[in-house]
Amino acid sequence: MRKLGNPELGRKTIEQFRKTEKSPFIIVLDNVRSQSNVGSIFRTADAFLTEAIYLCGITAKPPHREIQKTALGATQSVTWKYFPSTSIAVSELKDEGYKIIAVEQAEGSVALQNLHIDDGQRYALIFGHEVNGVDQEILNNCDFCVEIPQFGTKHSFNIAISVGIVLWELYKKRPL
């Protein structure tokens, strides 16, 4: 076994990335406080060809040193938009026909592995504040909620890890 070098990985240029068809997912960050998490989420969004990231409320936006440090250039490839509040972003996404999914531990949530993805449907995935989660006002406006099963003593994952888990599971379920 031999580790592949960067030239062998077939990575897209930023121009190629922008022209490539994207997955039908927008990541919505509801008042995420850690700029390192935001940067990591940009990298994950790039890896899964995510349509866009919506940065809401107190969530930092590029250019910012801490975001750039973990994004490693993904802020240049991934489309992003800032909203002063998450409710404005959700309203816009609903008007555009997106199904709104909160990733949160809530009554009636669907286990991630049981989530069904409809062909042709676009989805907005809302991830919340590192301590407080997705705001209840936002949950009230979601079509449904998914929860990542956990089996240890902790009750949550780091938000950047959650984004990776959810996108990987949804990517596997996508109709091709």
Domain spanning 21-173: which CATH class is it, in words? Answer: alpha beta
Q: For tokens 């750039």, what's the residue? A: 68
Could you report the per-residue pLDDT of 102-159, keeping only the tens digit for each?
999 999 999 999 999 998 999 999 999 999 999 999 999 999 999 999 999 988 899 9
Global pTM reads 0.95
Per-residue pLDDT averaged across 2-9, rounded? 91
124: amino acid identity, one letter: A
Which pLDDT score, from 0 to 100, does residue 173 have? 86
- Could you tell me the residue ranges of all domains in the chain? 21-173
Could you report the per-residue pLDDT of 14-73, keeping only the tens digit for each?
999 999 999 999 999 999 999 999 999 999 999 999 999 999 999 999 999 999 999 999
Q: Which residues of 94-123 are buried (b: 16+ CB within 10 A; e: fewer)?
A: eeeebbbbbbbebeebeebeebebeeeebb
Measure the CA–CA gap between 127 and 5, rounded to whole angstroms.
34
- Residue 176 confidence (pLDDT) above 80: no
**HSE (CB half, 13 Å, CA atoms) of 72?**
8
159-173 and 35-47 are packed helices; what angle lies between their axes, rounded to 10 degrees?
A: 20
Mean pLDDT of the residues in the chain: 95
Bridge partners (DSSP) of residue 110 are 146
- Residue 175 confidence (pLDDT) above 80: no
